[in-house]
Structure 1
Amino acid sequence: MLEHGHNIYLIVAALAIAVMSGFTGLSLTQGASAMGVARRKLVVSMSAIALGSGIWSMHFVAMLGMTLPVAFHYDALVTMISALVAILLTGIALLLVHFGARTGVRITLAGICVGAGILAMHYIGMSGIQEVKPVYYSAFGVGVAIVASVLLCVVSFWISYGHRESRNILTGTLVFGISVVAVHFIAMASTHFVKIDGAQSTGLWMSNEVLAFGVTLSSFVISGAFLLVGVTFAAGLGKPQDDTRMRQPVAEDPGASAPALSQPQIIRIPYESDGQAHFVQSEDVAAVQAEGRYTYLYHPSGRLFCPWSISTMEAKLADTRFVKVHRSYLVNTNHVTSFQRKKDNGVCFFEQAPHLDHVTVSRSYLKQVRERLGV
């Protein structure tokens, strides 16, 4: 059995690479669901490459920091396959959350896919080591690595995609970086190495020096992408953000009836499609959903991307039939077909709104919603 250790400086470098790639991949897709299909595919592909190559680069930076008393090298084909598997599985994860309705099930499945990608990349990459064989993968060690990978990645995606705000992306990035590094070293803790005497190399192989060249190039690209995306991300922080603060209800006369909107205004709301700006009437919109600094309109013609933020939308629609039911939703009471009161919240149901059958009413907005609906 061979004793092995790790260089602390390369461990820190591996964590930095994981965090940079996570930030690049998760922030690059901000607002991607509102893009046209062709552009969205491009952005998702770039994000998958950033996340997958970051997982791969982190692993091999850490492996370069591993010390063994004997020389060893890597099978080039297996090493390349490990990178492609990571990119493929992260790509599947991003497809789940950016194509089709983003539900809790899809977010969870996306996190599981990324967790599986980290695990597959690690164990495939380890199998490519030549002249030294990794052995004694204990069932307990593998089990802990699987649980840590899946759990942390699911948490990362729930934070990043449960609500697409800047702070969520930053927090989700940190969890992603920790998950990649944690899985690697948890798996390594249950791995031992033995030297294979008389082993013959087959196919193309890489020494640590050649691998270091490739990993350095990959890390440089990731760092460059991180800086480019970071500049855009930082610039966006200065723009008006969605107002997600809890608002205190205005004191009202207990004997007074709910305010009536006898002649609600009709507002022209812009939406973008095929590079052009179009308009719809507010009375035809069933609900408005926040998406980062933008919104989606639920209209009979489909789910439309609007350049207005949820706070701008709330101000514009103040004198219409719209009411805020959640920090991320405004609903048109004329389109609500039924309402269900639950323990701490409520649910508004819609029958004629494509892609939308219900919206949950949060506790803080429950009173005003019930008053507007007259229930």
Structure 2
Amino acid sequence: MATIDHFQYGWITPVLSYGLAVLGSFLGLLCAARAREAQTTGRRTWWISLAAWAIGGTAIWTMHFTAMLGFRVSGTQIRYNVPITVLSAVIAVAVVGIGLVIVGFGRVSWPRLIFGGLFAGLGVAGMHYLGMGAMRMRGRVDYTPSLVAASVLIAVVAATVAFWLAVNVRGSRAVTGAALVMGFAVSGMHYTGMAAMSVHAMPTAPAPSGANGSTLLLPIMLIVVFVAFVLFYALLASPTEDDRAASLYLADRAAERAAADRAAADRTGADRAAVRTGPDRPTGYPTNGAGPVPGRRSRYFG
């Protein structure tokens, strides 16, 4: 039995992978909130697609692969089959997207949540073990059935809770807290599945072929940064329902203020006109403005 080390770089990989899970969950929940507010089917589909990329691509698959970089088996190098690795990423995004469509289109109900969570959870678990199956090494891989079942159960529960959060959570604080919880769930599913794995060394087997982790790390990080940038831009460029309500409120207040200013200006103009056209005050001066009348004393100057 070969010795397995899940943390060959210490706590760097688990902390980094958890951070990615939280980031993807946070962005995905924000996109799901925009999908709930969307007024058209096209806009809702757009936001659900972005949420699937965030949760399935960043929170789940990228977290999974980043954590795999800390995985080491004594006596053998580890390589990755690139097509299978890419396929696992596509599956992660696809099953989350389909699950969000099941939950997000139509009236939200517990049967929809449970069915969507079951579908996505089984898909995410399949993605996880497919990604592990992409590893190539000098050894035979076996799994402990009880831990495999536990990881699948965690995946289903986590997906169901994630979908419930996606359709119910509102506000930045609630979304942040939900993302932290989802990060723990995704990481727990991954490391439970990894704990189910055992490797029987085969020193005489051919050297493994494929890409090493460091070769795949750079394109993965570039993809993560690009996706995060696109999601942040989309979220900032599209106002929320609260933003629209606040803008409408400010516009109404500005209109009320302008109307009040116009009314005040009209009253001032009317008062001035009344003063100009009112009865002349007695001043001791003739009305033609020629000056004081000789011999007449002014009422005001004695």
TM-score normalised per structure 1: 0.57
Change (3 A) 1:163 1:16: closer
Match of 1:199 in 2: 206
Query: Structure 1 residue 110 and structure 2 residue 113: aligned?
Result: no
Which residue identity does 2:16 align to in structure 1?
A
Instruction: Give the structure with higher Rg (CA).
Output: 2
1:71 to 60, 66, 77: 77
Length, aligned pairs only: 240
User: Residues 48 and 97 of structure 2 are in contact (CA less than 8 Å); yes or no, is this contact kept in structure 1?
Assistant: yes
| Paired residues for 1:50-89 under 5 Å | 50-54=54-58, 55-69=60-74, 70-89=76-95
Shift of 1:229: 6.5
Match of 2:286 in 1: none
List structure 1 runs of 4+ shifted beyond 6 angstroms: none
Query: Structure 1 residue 15 and structure 2 residue 18: aligned?
Result: yes
User: Residues 118 and 180 of structure 1 are in contact (CA less than 8 Å); yes or no, is this contact kept in structure 2?
Assistant: no
CA distance in 2, matches of 1:160, 1:174: 14
CA distance in 2, matches of 1:134, 1:231: 49
Greater share of residues in strand:
1
Question: Which runs of 5 or more structure 1 residues have no equivalent in the other structure?
Answer: 237-291, 295-306, 313-375
Shift of 1:156: 2.9
Change (3 A) 1:163 1:57: closer
Shift of 1:133: 4.5
Change (3 A) 1:137 1:224: same
Shift of 1:80: 0.9
User: Residues 13 and 61 of structure 1 are in contact (CA less than 8 Å); yes or no, is this contact kept in structure 2?
Assistant: yes
Match of 1:4 in 2: 4
Query: Structure 1 residue 220 and structure 2 residue 237: aligned?
Result: no
Shift of 1:166: 3.9
Match of 1:91 in 2: 97
CA distance in 2, matches of 1:176, 1:56: 14
Which residue identity does 1:127 align to in structure 2?
G
TM-score normalised per structure 2: 0.70
1:121 to 104, 112, 127: 127
Identity of aligned residues (%): 26
User: Residues 138 and 207 of structure 2 are in contact (CA less than 8 Å); yes or no, is this contact kept in structure 1?
Assistant: no
Matched position secondary structure for 1:206: coil
Match of 1:253 in 2: none
Match of 1:322 in 2: none
Which residue identity does 1:143 align to in structure 2?
A
Shift of 1:173: 1.8
Give the CA RMSD over aligned residues: 2.8
Greater share of residues in helix:
2
Query: Structure 1 residue 189 and structure 2 residue 191: aligned?
Result: no
Shift of 1:48: 1.0
Matched position secondary structure for 1:198: coil
